[in-house]
Amino acid sequence: MKGRKLAVVLTLCLLSVAGSGLSLYHVGYRINLSPSVPTGIWRVNEKGYEKTDYVVVSPNSHQGYELAIGRGYLPGFSPMLKRVVAVEGDVVDYDEKEKAVTVNGEYIMMTEIISQDTEGRKLPKASFPVTLRRGEIWLSSENIRGYDSRYFGPVSEDILRKAAPVWIF
């Protein structure tokens, strides 16, 4: 009988934790486990952001996101969080000599384009140079191996929401 009571208590505890997690998700909290930006708990806000802000990409919203999930770059429950580095009117290019993305001639750190992922699979490459049109955003990681606009190009601002770190670990 003791074992059965313990099982019921543990089940109720797990259901409570899962329910709390779902509640937090619905009010905008996300857990980031990807090294593309600092890992931790993030709060997703309304639309609207500026250059250098972090944003979360809506799930399954473009080919880049689908490839990231399909190849396991992101766990299925993890958001794609990136930093905005270029907006409408900015010119994004790739300097082959310096192995870095530039925005209006300024270098963006840790943006060398790598031809294969860690499993040896070929990575796509964005077309360069590109002048961002109205509603287009260029996203960057904070990790050389990050998967970002270097590979899938600009994204529509309609699929982004501003994100802010709450607790980084």
Structural domain spans, the chain: 29-168
What is d(CA 93, CA 89) in angstroms, rounded to the nearest whole number?
A: 13
Q: How many CB atoms lie within 10 A of CB 103?
A: 19
For the chain, how are helix, strand and coil distributed in percent, rounded to 5? 25, 30, 45
What is d(CA 56, CA 66) in angstroms, rounded to the nearest whole number?
A: 14
Distances (CA, A) of 162 to 30, 58, 92, 139: 12, 11, 22, 12
Which residues, including other chains, have CB under 8 Å from residue 33's CB and lie 6 or more apart?
Answer: 39, 75, 78
Q: How many CB atoms lie within 10 A of CB 120?
A: 6
Percent of the chain residues past pLDDT 70, beyond the cut: 83
At 28 the pLDDT is 80
At 21 the pLDDT is 43
At 73 the pLDDT is 87
**Do residues 88 and 129 lie in contact, with contact meaning Cβ atoms separated by under 8 Å?**
no
Written out in words, the top-level CATH class of the domain with range 29-168 is mainly beta
Alpha helices per DSSP H over 27-118? 63-70
**Do residues 64 and 147 lie in contact, with contact meaning Cβ atoms separated by under 8 Å?**
yes
Query: Which parts of the chain register pLDDT below 70?
Result: 1-26, 76-77
